[in-house]
C-alpha cells in the first residue's frame, strides 16, 4: 500500500465486499432459521438462568472452554496487572484493540454494513424513480442476485455513494440506528447487534475490569459502528477507530453541519489498521484481536512493541453453530473475512494464538444455550 | 474549504506561520530576559509557598480573578453536574476541547513547532552539506532573518518536509522530546513546556475533577503535541486531536515501522477542527476553548449542539506579562494567532465569553509571582 490515502475504492473503504461476493452467499432459509432461532432463544433463557449466570459470576470467561486460548488470556492479564511482577504495565498503557467483523460479531454471509447499503437502496428508491432502469440499482431493486453477483467496483462505489453520503453525519447516524432496529440477519433471523460473540463480550469485560482501555479497530465504517458500540460492547464512540469518508463543515440555514461527501478519507484495513491505531490512539496496543488478513498488520504492529503482549486470531471453524471458512486449515474459501494459510503460518511462526470457535468456545452467542457439558469451574 | 483533504500547504498543516511572520518577531534579548526570568522564578517560589498554594487548596480556579469569566465557568460546571437539575449531563458526554497554541501555552513570537522546524535545520545541516548554498536552508543556517521573513509557502514546505518527515514516528517523537529538553523560548528564556497558562491548567484540572474528558484540538502537529500532553496538561495521547502528515506502514529489517511521508494528511484547523472533533471523538463538545480565528468553527460546532454549553476565547491583551495582539479591540495586528474583530463580534452575538488575560487572570504562568493583591476567597 502506498499510504493510507492511496486510491482505494469506496467499496474497500467501507469494508464492503468485492463483486464476487454474492456467488458465495448461502441461500436464505428464513422460516427454518426463525424456528431454530426461537427454540435456541427459549432454551437459552431457561439454561441461562439455571447455570450460565452462576458460571459467569465465578468465571469471567465462562463461555471459554478451559484450554490453551483461555489460559493464554488469563496468564497474560495476570502478568501485566501484577504490580509486583517484572511484566507489570501501567493502566494507561493497557490498550487492547479489537477488529469487529468476524471477531466481535458475525460477518457472513456478507458484512452487516453491506447489507445496510443494499437495504437502503430499497428505502431510497421511491425518491429515485430512474433507479428502476439504471444499473446497478435496478438489479438490487429487482433482487436480481445473479446481476448483483457480477457488480464490479464501480457499481459498488455508486451504491455506497448513494447510500452513505449526501447527508449530514447526524442524518446518517439516524438512518443506521433505524435500520439496525428492524433489520434481521438472513441466516439467524435476529437483529445484527445480537449476533455478537459471547466469549468476546466476556473478554472485553474481563479486560475492562482489569484496567484495559478497549478499542474497536474496524475496516468497516467508523460512524456506522459508533451508533451501537457503547450499547453492544461497552465501547464509547471515541474508542472506535474505523474507515471514514470525507466530511465537510458547512452552513445549513444558519446552522453548521458536517456533510458526508462521496469520497473515501481513511481506509482502516490491513496496514491502515496500524496507521489508524497510531493516528487515533497514539499508543501501541498491548493486546490485539482479529480474524482475517485485514488484521495481520495490527497484530504485527502490536507484537513489534516488544515485551509481553497478546495477539489472537479467531478462526471460524464451527459450521454447526456459526460458519466455517478459511481457507486456512482446509476450511472453505471465502471472500468475506479471509483467513489464508499464510496468515495461519505467520501466527504459528510468531506464536500468535489461534482461537478455534469450535473447540475454545462453549457458547457462541448470548442467546444460545450453553453446552450440556458445562465448563463449571471447580 | 472544499473539505479536509483540500490542497493545503504543509505549512498550514503544521500550524506553521506564513512568510510574513518574521517581520513581526521581536528582537531577542536573551540576557535581560534571563535575568527577569530568574527573579520572577525565585520570587515565585517564595510567594507560591506562602499564599498561592493555600489559595489553590480552597479555590480550584485561584489564578482567575473573580469576575464574569470565572463565574461563567463555575455556574456552567455546577449546572451540568447537578444530578437533580434539568441541565444535568452524563459524565460520558462531558467533553471539553481546548485549542493549544495561544489557549494553553504561549504562541508568540512564533509557534513552538515552527521554532522546532528552524532549529532542526541547524541540527540536520552537517548531513546536508549542500544546504549552505541552497534556499531556503542557507538563510536559516546563516540566521538571515530578512530572508527568512520573505520565505514563501514553497520554502516552508521544504523546511517541514526536511524536518518532519523521512523518519519513523518513533524517531520523530524522540527528536521532539530531545528538542523540548533544551530549547528555550526567545523572550522568556524558559523551556516551552513551562510556558503554559496556570489559569488554563487549573481549568483543565477543575473540569477533569468534575468528570469531564478533556481534549486538545490543535492546528499544530498531533504527534508533536502528544510527546508532552500527558506530562504538561494531564491529557493522554489518545485525547490529542491535531494536524498530521501521511504515514505509511512498512517493513524495516523485518520490523514494522510507520514512516512519515512529506505530505499532509489531516489539517485540524478552522473548519477542520469541527471535522476533527467528529472524526476523533465522535461526540459534540459540551465546552470549547480557543483564542483565534482557527477556533471559530470549533466554538460554532459546540454551540450548535444546543442546551447548556460553554464557549470561551482567550484574548491576549497583557503586554506586560505576556503579549498583546488582536487586531480585535484595537490590539496590535498579528499573523500568529489572529483574533480579528469579526471573531470578537461573533463572540458578542453568540454570547461566547472572551477572557481578558489582563483582567481575568491574576497569574499567567505557574513560575510567575502571584499578584500582590491576591484574590483570597472569603
Whether A227 shows a pLDDT value over 90: the answer reads yes
The pLDDT mean for chain A works out to 86
pTM: 0.86
**Residue B119 touches partner A, C-beta closer than 8 Å:** no
Q: How far apart are CA B39 and CA B188, in angstroms?
A: 12
- Optimal mutation site among A214, A216, A238, interface B, most CBs of chain B within 10 A: A238
Instruction: Say yes or no for a CB contact (<8 Å) between A281 and B240.
Output: no
Q: Do A263 and B223 touch (CB under 8 A)?
A: no
Do B249 and A304 count as a contact with CB atoms less than 8 A apart? no
Contact assessment for residue A277 and residue A286, using Cβ atoms and an 8 Å cutoff: no
Q: Name the residue among A238, A239, A223, A114 with its Cα closest to residue A169.
A: A223
Nearest to B334 by CA among B348, B320, B347, B316: B316
pLDDT, one tens digit per residue, over A43-75 is 444 444 445 555 556 899 999 999 999 999 999
B247·A4 Cβ contact <8 A: yes
CB contact under 8 A, A238 and B280: yes
Is residue A91 a contact partner of residue B236, using CB atoms and an 8 Å limit?
Answer: no
Q: What is the reported pLDDT for A166? A: 92
Q: With contacts defined as CB-CB under 8 Å, which chain B residues touch A297? A: 249, 256
Q: Does B236 touch chain A (CB under 8 A)?
A: yes
**Residue A177 contacts B where some CB pair is shorter than 8 Å:** no
Give, for all 378 residues of chain B, the pLDDT tens digit. 233 333 333 444 444 544 334 333 333 333 333 334 444 444 444 444 444 455 556 899 999 999 999 999 999 999 999 999 999 999 999 999 999 999 999 999 989 999 999 999 999 999 999 999 999 999 999 999 888 777 787 887 889 889 999 999 999 999 999 999 999 999 999 999 999 999 999 999 999 999 999 999 999 999 999 999 999 999 999 999 999 999 999 999 999 999 999 999 999 999 999 999 999 999 999 999 999 999 999 999 999 999 999 999 999 999 999 999 999 999 999 989 999 999 999 999 999 999 999 999 999 999 865 544 434 333
Q: What is the mean pLDDT of residues A312-321?
A: 98
Interface of A with B in 81-110 (CB under 8 A): 92
Interatomic CA distance for residues A359 and A192, integer angstroms: 24
Better pLDDT: B182 or A377:
B182
- Is B243 in contact with B219 (CB distance < 8 Å)? yes
pLDDT value of position B11:
44
Give the gap in angstroms from C-alpha A347 to the nearest C-alpha of chain B.
15
Per-residue confidence (pLDDT) for residue B5, from 0 to 100:
31
**Contact yes or no for A258 and B244 at CB 8 A:** no
Cβ B249–A275 below 8 Å, yes or no? yes
Distance from CA of A258 to the nearest CA of B (A): 7
Q: Which chain B residue lies closest to A213 (C-alpha atoms)? A: B238
The count of other CB atoms within 10 Å of the CB of residue B321 is 15
- pLDDT (0 to 100) of residue A57: 63
Give the end-to-end CA distance of chain B in Å, rounded to a whole number.
50
**Cα–Cα distance list, A238 to A83, B4, B40, B61, B240 (Å):** 28, 19, 41, 28, 12
Regarding beta strands A213-221 and A240-252, do their DSSP bridges make them parallel or antiparallel, or are they unpaired? parallel
Distance CA A197, CA A310 (A): 19
**Residue A221 forms contact with B (CB below 8 Å):** no
Residue A376 burial by CB count (10 A; 0-12/13-18/19+): exposed, middle or buried? exposed
pLDDT of residue A6: 31
- Asked whether residue A368 carries a pLDDT value surpassing 80, the answer given is no
Distance from CA of A248 to the nearest CA of B (A): 5
| Nearest-CB residue to A248 (from B3, B263, B304) | B3
pLDDT digits (tens, 9 = 90+) for A70-112: 999 999 999 999 999 999 999 999 999 999 999 999 999 989 9
Q: For residue range A142-192, list pLDDT tens digits in order.
A: 999 888 777 787 887 889 889 999 999 999 999 999 999 999 999 999 999
Does A7 contact B at CB distance below 8 Å? no
pLDDT by residue (tens digit) across A266-298?
A: 999 999 999 999 999 999 999 999 999 999 999
Cβ <8 Å between B3 and A169: no
Per-residue pLDDT at A377 exceeds 90: no
Q: Is the pLDDT of residue A210 over 80?
A: yes
- C-alpha–C-alpha distance, residues A41 and A320, integer Å: 16
- The rounded Cα B224 to chain-centroid distance in angstroms is 11
pLDDT per position as a tens digit, A110-147:
899 989 999 999 999 999 999 999 999 999 999 998 88
CA distances to A28, A288, A367 from A295, rounded to whole Å, are 29, 9, 28
pLDDT band at residue A373 using 50, 70 and 90 as cut-offs: very low
Any CB–CB contact under 8 A between B31 and chain A?
no
Q: What pLDDT score does A35 carry?
A: 39
Tens of pLDDT along A14-41? 445 443 343 333 333 333 333 344 444 4
Task: Report the share of chain A in percent with pLDDT over 70.
Answer: 82
Instruction: Tell me which chain B residue has its CA closest to the CA of residue A258.
Output: B275
Amino acid at each position: 500500500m502506498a499510504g493510507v490515502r492511496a486510491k482505494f475504492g469506496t467499496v474497500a473503504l467501507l469494508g464492503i465486499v468485492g463483486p464476487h461476493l454474492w456467488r458465495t452467499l448461502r441461500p436464505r432459509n428464513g422460516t427454518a432459521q426463525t424456528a431454530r432461532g426461537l427454540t435456541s432463544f427459549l432454551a437459552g433463557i431457561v439454561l441461562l438462568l439455571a447455570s450460565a449466570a452462576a458460571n459467569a459470576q465465578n468465571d469471567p470467561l465462562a463461555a471459554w472452554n478451559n484450554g490453551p486460548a483461555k489460559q493464554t488470556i488469563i496468564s497474560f492479564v495476570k502478568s501485566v496487572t501484577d504490580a509486583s511482577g517484572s511484566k507489570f504495565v501501567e493502566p494507561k498503557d493497557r490498550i487492547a484493540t479489537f477488529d469487529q467483523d468476524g471477531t466481535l460479531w458475525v460477518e457472513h454471509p456478507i458484512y452487516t454494513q453491506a447489507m445496510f447499503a443494499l437495504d437502503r437502496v430499497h428505502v431510497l428508491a421511491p425518491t429515485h424513480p430512474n433507479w428502476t432502469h439504471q444499473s446497478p440499482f435496478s438489479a438490487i431493486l429487482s433482487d436480481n442476485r445473479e446481476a448483483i453477483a457480477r457488480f464490479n467496483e464501480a457499481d459498488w462505489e455508486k451504491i455506497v455513494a448513494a447510500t452513505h453520503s449526501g447527508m449530514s453525519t447526524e442524518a446518517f447516524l439516524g438512518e443506521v440506528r433505524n435500520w439496525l432496529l428492524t433489520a434481521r440477519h438472513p441466516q439467524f433471523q435476529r437483529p445484527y447487534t445480537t449476533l455478537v460473540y459471547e466469549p468476546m463480550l466476556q473478554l472485553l469485560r474481563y479486560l475492562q475490569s482489569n484496567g484495559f482501555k478497549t478499542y474497536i479497530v474496524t475496516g468497516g465504517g467508523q460512524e456506522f459502528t459508533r451508533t451501537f458500540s457503547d450499547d453492544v460492547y461497552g465501547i464509547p464512540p471515541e474508542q472506535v477507530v474505523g474507515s471514514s469518508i470525507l466530511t465537510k463543515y458547512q452552513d445549513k440555514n444558519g446552522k453548521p453541519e458536517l456533510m458526508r461527501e462521496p469520497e473515501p478519507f481513511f481506509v482502516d484495513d490491513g496496514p491502515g489498521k496500524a496507521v489508524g491505531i497510531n493516528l487515533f490512539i497514539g499508543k501501541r496496543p498491548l493486546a490485539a484481536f482479529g480474524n482475517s488478513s485485514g488484521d495481520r498488520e495490527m497484530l504485527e504492529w502490536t507484537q513489534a512493541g516488544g515485551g509481553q503482549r497478546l495477539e489472537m486470531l479467531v478462526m471460524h471453524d464451527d459450521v454447526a453453530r456459526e460458519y466455517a471458512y478459511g481457507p486456512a486449515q482446509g476450511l472453505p474459501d471465502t471472500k468475506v473475512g479471509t483467513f489464508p494459510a499464510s496468515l495461519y503460518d505467520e501466527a504459528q511462526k510468531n506464536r500468535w494464538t489461534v482461537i478455534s470457535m469450535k473447540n475454545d468456545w462453549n457458547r457462541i452467542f448470548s442467546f444460545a444455550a450453553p453446552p450440556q457439558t458445562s465448563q463449571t469451574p471447580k
